[in-house]
Amino acid sequence: MSSNVDQPLLAHAEQSIAQGSKSFAAASRLFDPRTRRAAVMLYAWCRHCDDVIDGQESGHDATLLSPTEAGQRLARLREQTRAAYTDAPLHTPAFQAFRQVASDHGIPADEALDLLQGFEMDVNGQHYETLEDTLQYCYHVAGVVGLMMGRVMGVRDAATLDRACDLGLGMQLTNIARDIIEDAQVGRCYLPQEWLRLADIPPGDLAEHEHRTALGLLAGRLVEHAEPYYASAEVGLAALPWRSAWAVATAASVYRQIGLKVQQAGQHAWDGRISTSKPEKLAAVLAGLWRTLTRRWRARPARSRSLWQRPDPSCARARHAAPAAVSASGR
Q: For the residues 30-48, what does the mean pLDDT come to?
A: 92
Distance CA 219, CA 201 (A): 13
Question: Is 205 part of any domain?
Answer: yes
Least-confidence region, from 197-211, 250-264, 302-316: 302-316
Q: For the residues 56-63, what does the mean pLDDT come to?
A: 55
Domain limits for position 91: 3-325
- Render the burial of 131-141: b for 16+ CB within 10 Å, e for the rest: bebbbbbbbbb
Q: Indicate if the pLDDT at residue 9 is higher than 90.
A: no
Cβ-proximal residues to 321 (8 Å cutoff; 6+ apart), any chain: none
Q: 325: which DSSP letter?
A: G
- Four-residue CA torsion sign, 6, 8, 11, 12: negative
Q: What is the CATH number of the domain that holds 308?
A: 1.10.600.10
| CA angle 272–233–221, rounded 5-degree value | 45
Question: Is 93 part of any domain?
Answer: yes
Q: Indicate if the pLDDT at residue 275 is higher than 50.
A: yes
Q: For the residues 62-87, what does the mean pLDDT come to?
A: 90
pTM recorded for the entire structure = 0.89
- Give the chain's domain count: 1
SS3 of 216, please?
helix
Q: How many residues does the chain have?
A: 331
Question: Is 331 part of any domain?
Answer: no
Distance CA 257, CA 181 (A): 19
pLDDT tens readout for residues 116-153: 999 999 999 899 999 999 999 999 999 999 999 999 99
State the pLDDT confidence band at 66, using cuts at 50, 70 and 90.
confident
CA atoms within 13 A on the CB side of 67: 8
Could you tell me if 169 and 304 are in contact, meaning their C-beta atoms sit under 8 angstroms apart?
Answer: no
Question: Is 330 part of any domain?
Answer: no
CA atoms within 13 A on the CB side of 189: 21
pLDDT tens readout for residues 167-193: 999 999 999 999 999 999 888 999 999
SS in 3 state form for 255-282?
HHHHHHHHHHHHHHCCCCCCCCCHHHHH
